[in-house]
Amino acid sequence: MSGEALYERYKDALKRGHVASLRGRLEEALTAYAEAAAIAPERGTPHTSAGTALMRRKRPADALRHYSAALVLAPRDEAALLGRAQALAGLNRRADAADAFDALAETRAANGKLADAVDAARRGLELAEGRERRRTLEQLIERLRASTPGEPGRAALERALRVLDGPAVPVAHAAPVQAAAAAAAVVEPAGPVVVEPAAGIEAEPEPGPGLGMEALAGPGAAPAEPSEGDSGLESVVPSEPPVRAALDRDLAPDLDPEDLARLVDQAVDAGEAAEGLERLLDLAAAYRRDGRLDAALGACYQALSLDPDNLDLHLGLVELYDERGWAILAAEKLDLVDRLATLDEDPLAARRVAAARSTRG
C-alpha cells in the first residue's frame, strides 16, 4: 500500500476517534485511536488523543500511560506534556506533576509561547514550592513583561503574580481577569455534556500526505500582514469579512424565548430538523441575552440530538462554557473541532474556529 493510502487510513481512523470522543463514546474513540496508532506507530497523536478521552472520563492513571507513550515518540510535544502533567496532578502526585509542568513551561518558552510558559510554570509552583521553580517563574514573568503582551499575556501575568506575591498585585493596564477562578478549580457542569472537562490539549498539527512527510500547518494561521513594495507604496491585501460568533444571532429586542420554544416544538414535531436546529440556536442566544445561561446550555444540548456535528452548535457551546467559567471544558471542545476542521481540510470551518479561539484569548 502506498504512503498516501496509508495516510488516508490513518487520517480516517483519527477522525473517527475525534468524532466518537466529541459524542462521548469513549470505547469507540479508544478503538479508533488504537487503529490509528497501529497504522502509524511512529506518531504520538493517537496516544495523546486517547489520553485526552480518558481524562474526560476521570481515568488519569489510564490516561497517563497514553501520554507517556506519546512522549516516547515525541518528547517535546506540548499536548502530551500538558496531558501528562494534568494526569499526574489528578493522581495527586504533586511533585511529579510539578516537574511535568516545569518541562512543559520550558518547551513552551523555547517555542516562543511566553504566556503559556508562565501559566505552566505557575501551575508547577502551585503544586510544589521550590526556590529554583520560583526563580524560573520570575524570569519568565520578566520576559513576558518585556514582550509587551496583549490581553492573554496580561491575564497570565496576573495569575502568576497572585501566586508569587499574594492577592491584589496590580499589573499595568491589565483588565480584570475573570478566568483566574477557573484556573484554580473547574466546575463540571451537570446535564448531558458531550465533552467533559479535561486537559486543555492544544491540537498537534497532523501529517501531510504520506506518513513520512512533515506536518500540516495548523488551521488557525493568521493572514499575512500587508507589506510595502520596492516602490514605497503599500500593497493592498483584500480583507475577509469578520466572522460572527455562533450565538451572535439577529434577534428582535422584544423577542420572547417562550415563543421561540413553541416554534422549536412545532419544527421538531413536523420532522424539520434543520428548522428546529436554527430555532434552538436562536433560543440559546435569547436565553443568553437574558442571562439565563443554564437554559441556553439546555437548548444547545437539545440541539445535539438534531445535528451532533453542527459547527455553530459546538462553537456556541464554547461561548457558553466560557461564560460559565468552564475554561478547560471550552478549550477542549474548541481543540477538538479544530482538529476535525483540519482533518476535513475545511478552510471556512478552520477560519471560524480560529476566530473563536482569538475571541476567547
Q: Average pLDDT of each block of 10 consecutive residues along the chain (361 residues)?
A: 83 91 89 95 94 91 96 94 95 95 96 92 93 93 87 82 61 34 32 34 36 33 39 43 76 82 85 88 89 88 83 89 82 83 83 82 59
What pLDDT, on the 0 to 100 scale, is given for residue 93? 95
Residues 33 and 164 in one domain: yes
What pLDDT, on the 0 to 100 scale, is given for residue 172? 39
Q: Which of 154, 184, 214 is the last residue of a domain?
A: 184
What pLDDT, on the 0 to 100 scale, is given for residue 5? 86
What pLDDT, on the 0 to 100 scale, is given for residue 202? 34
Question: Could you tell me the residue range of the domain that residue 281 belongs to?
Answer: 257-360
Split into its structural domains, the chain has a count of 2
Residues 179 and 268 in one domain: no
What pLDDT, on the 0 to 100 scale, is given for residue 234? 39
Would you give the distance in Å from CA 81 to the centre of its chain? 15
What is the Cα–Cα distance from 176 to 319, expressed in whole angstroms? 19
**DSSP H helical ranges for 179-272:** 180-184, 257-269
Q: Which of 184, 200, 226 is the last residue of a domain?
A: 184
What pLDDT, on the 0 to 100 scale, is given for residue 40? 93
Residues 178 and 265 in one domain: no
What is the Cα–Cα distance from 202 to 299, expressed in whole angstroms? 28
CB neighbours of residue 205 within 10 Å: 14
What pLDDT, on the 0 to 100 scale, is given for residue 37? 96
Q: Determine, yes or no, domain membership for 240.
A: no
Residue 253 grid coordinates: 429586542
pTM metric for this prediction: 0.56
Classify 17 as helix, strand or coil: helix
